[in-house]
Structure 1
Amino acid sequence: MPTAQHATIIIERPFKAPPARVFAAWSSQTAKRSWFAEGEGWKVLNFALDFREGGTETSRFAAPDGVEHANETVFHDIVANQRIIFSYSMLMNGVRHSVSLATIDVRPDGVGTRLIFTEQGAFFDGGDGPKMREMGWTELLNALAKHLGE
């Protein structure tokens, strides 16, 4: 019988850049594609971002081993330079393996920013699971820091 594992992931990450610049890296299709979609060894098959409440983000990638991964995202709440709330599902070779609700809190921290990422996920059999997801988001936030010149 298929099962689902539920988990909450929280990652706090400081950035030297001010909140408006960190937020812009999430809201611009060009910026987000550069740090989110274009990982080393991965081939971007599709990336589209309609950043507005009710808007969507879709992406498909081929891993170096040929496995295809996809994200399907819907934005539910956006407060400029402060907060993004979205739900997303992930698929591997066309099979959905997780569904999550995620919140990005962008907070001033001195001259920089403290980003708080919170994900509440349901992870299905055969998927990545919470530990791998946390590692993945940590790598993505490191890529965001590099994009910001940190």
Structure 2
Amino acid sequence: MNTDFQTFDVTREIAARPETVYRTWAEPDLKRRWFAPEVSNGWHAEGYEADLCEGGVERSRFRHDEIGSFQFEARYIQMRAPGRLVYSFTMATAEALLSASLATVCIHAHGAGSMVIYTEQAVFLDGGDRRETRLAGTTDLIAKMAAIAGEVENA
């Protein structure tokens, strides 16, 4: 049994106001566009449901053409518009729990836009996932979120 504790941050400037950035995390239709699109880089969404409020649950099932199927399940601990979201989540396959994490998203005004700082405290279990893979995936997701926030801001 292997237990690997890791923490990482992803920081990104976004050309949208904090209120708009917060909406991209807190409104299910907007969140689905960047977090669970039907197809993205070999990933296929197989289901998405979200009750994005304190105590609410978000679930996503997705599959990658080369590495298989996964389930994401989150519970929202705190949502403070427009500046902070805190949630816990697990990642699993049908066979095993891969990780459990605590994520904090801080959104600050920065010039005409926002600065987002995403911090994840994770425990990766039995070698099924690792920090480098999660960091790369999270960085990609936050870039997609930034693009959606820019679209919403300019609509």
For the aligned residues, what is the CA RMSD?
1.3
Q: Point out 4+ residue stretches in structure 1 off by more than 4 angstroms.
A: none
Q: Within 5 A, what are the aligned runs for 1:44-59? A: 44-59=45-60
CA distance in 1, matches of 2:55, 2:100: 17
- After TM superposition, the score normalised by the length of structure 2 is 0.91
Corresponding residue for residue 148 of structure 1? 149
Corresponding residue for residue 93 of structure 2? 92
Q: Give the aligned residue type for 2:79.
A: I
Corresponding residue for residue 17 of structure 1? 16
Percent sequence identity is: 33
CA distance in 2, matches of 1:33, 1:132: 21
Corresponding residue for residue 80 of structure 1? 81
Determine helix, strand or coil for the equivalent of 2:128: coil
Corresponding residue for residue 27 of structure 2? 28
| 8 A Cα contact 2:99 2:124, kept in partner | yes
Structure 2 residue runs of 5 or longer lacking an equivalent are: none
CA distance in 1, matches of 2:95, 2:26: 26
Deviation digits for residues 33-70 of structure 1 (CA, Å, limit 9, x no counterpart): 11111123322111011011100100000111361111
Change (3 A) 1:6 1:66: closer
Which shifted more, 89-98 or 133-142? 89-98
- After TM superposition, the score normalised by the length of structure 1 is 0.94
Aligned residues: 149
CA distance in 1, matches of 2:75, 2:17: 26
Corresponding residue for residue 70 of structure 1? 71
User: How far does residue 94 in structure 1 lie from its aligned partner after superposition?
Assistant: 4.1
- 1:102 equivalent in alignment to 2:86: no
Q: Give the aligned residue type for 1:101.
A: L
User: How far does residue 146 in structure 1 lie from its aligned partner after superposition?
Assistant: 2.1
Corresponding residue for residue 125 of structure 1? 126
